[in-house]
Amino acid sequence: MKIYCCEECVEIALDTIVDKCETFPIFTKLDVDNLSTTCEYCPKPATYVVANE
């Protein structure tokens, strides 16, 4: 499971990974200049990916 999120929504993404996957999340900052992905919780550009793998 991967969740793309902005800085404001990162806590929601972390909680979601812990609740659904019951594992410690992997938290990675994205290269914003080369990414057009938006946050999964709001319309802002994604700056982080939170994953369980």
The answer to whether residue 48 is domain-embedded is yes
The answer to whether residue 2 is domain-embedded is yes
The answer to whether residue 40 is domain-embedded is yes
The answer to whether residue 43 is domain-embedded is yes
Domain that holds residue 37: 1-6+31-53
- Examine the pLDDT at 34 and tell me if it is beyond 90: no
The DSSP code sequence of the chain is -EEEE-TTTHHHHHHHHHHHH-SPPEEEE--GGG--PBPSSSSSBP-EEEE--
pTM: 0.85
The answer to whether residue 26 is domain-embedded is no
Residue 39: phi and psi, rounded to 5, are -60, 145
**35 confidence band (pLDDT: 50, 70, 90):** low
**39 confidence band (pLDDT: 50, 70, 90):** very high
For residue 17, which amino acid is it?
A: I
Domain count, the chain: 1
